Amino acid sequence: MSKFCYTKTIKRKRPSTGTSAAVAYKDNYWPLGTVLRVFFIDATLYQRVSFERVENEILEPINLFAEYVTDRENSDIRISFNEGWGSYSYVGTDNLFISKDQETMNIGWEGDDVMRHEFCHALGMLHEHQNPKNPIKWNEKVVIQALSGPPNYWSIEQIRFNVLDVLDIALVDATDSDVNSIMKYFAPPGWTQDGVYHAPNTQLSDTDRSFLSEKYPLPESNGHLDFCRSIWRDKSQLRRLLEVQLVRLAKSLGVDASVNDLKNDTVDRVWEKLRK
């Protein structure tokens, strides 16, 4: 039996009704240009380097950055690597409502695929197999029996929330159903009424990438410098970027830079460009 990630959710009051309800997913995107402050709670060097590589792969073509902080009180996303907790993440800006003494993401087993899946949750993406457009028709009894046992041991509520329930189309942005999405669960033939096998996906699909690019578009070139000035107001922010992210920012500003350059030199050139 395969292990499956589950999504964490929070309750917030909606001003229009005053009732407690799950957040409307359309409201969970990060503002364009956000520098996500990431704190590793208990990562080994290998785990940290692996996650940073995956994270940069996803962020590279979109208008978000990641800054790796050493103070959890100054963090937006806090990542644990506890093998006994399963894999999960809060969705998008829900991360900002979680107590600083708690993790917002856990990577419960090894693999770039699970890190890609969880980080996409952190960017606001939901489970593709719950897409309201052409939803999967499940054999509910089979799915419940499988996921309530080892290695997942989920409750009926968890199974319905993470697998069986179709997302409300009024609350989500949805493309046509994408069988190749990194956000879709593996499902053996017996789990579905039509007997279709849903293979595990390990990479972001073209649709995943285009969806993120649409939600986090790079700024127009004619306003890019002013936009960056509004985001990067402290030189120390630049120093905390991974070199590949710093070089991406530099090149977008027309600053000649390479990962082979001394990082401090690149920081100085970018800062000089921003302060002109």
pLDDT-derived band at 25 (thresholds 50, 70, 90) equals: low
What does the alpha-carbon distance between residue 272 and residue 171 come to, in Å, rounded to a whole number?
43
What does the alpha-carbon distance between residue 241 and residue 35 come to, in Å, rounded to a whole number?
9
What residue ranges do the domains of the chain occupy? 6-215, 221-275
Exposure pattern of 22-60 as b/e (b: 16+ CB <10 Å)? ebebeebbbeebbbbbbbbbebeeebeebbbebbbbbbe
In CATH terms, is domain 6-215 a member of 3.40.50.720?
A: no
pLDDT of residue 9: 64
**Res. 30: pLDDT tops 80:** yes
pLDDT of residue 139: 92
| pLDDT tens readout for residues 106-126 | 998 899 999 999 999 999 998
What does the alpha-carbon distance between residue 22 and residue 6 come to, in Å, rounded to a whole number?
15
| pLDDT tens readout for residues 156-206 | 998 998 889 888 777 777 777 788 899 888 888 889 888 877 888 889 999
**Token pair of 39 as six digits:** 């704190």
pLDDT-derived band at 3 (thresholds 50, 70, 90) equals: low
pLDDT-derived band at 104 (thresholds 50, 70, 90) equals: very high
Q: What share of the chain is helix, strand, coil (3-state, %, to 5)?
A: 40, 10, 45
pLDDT of residue 196: 76
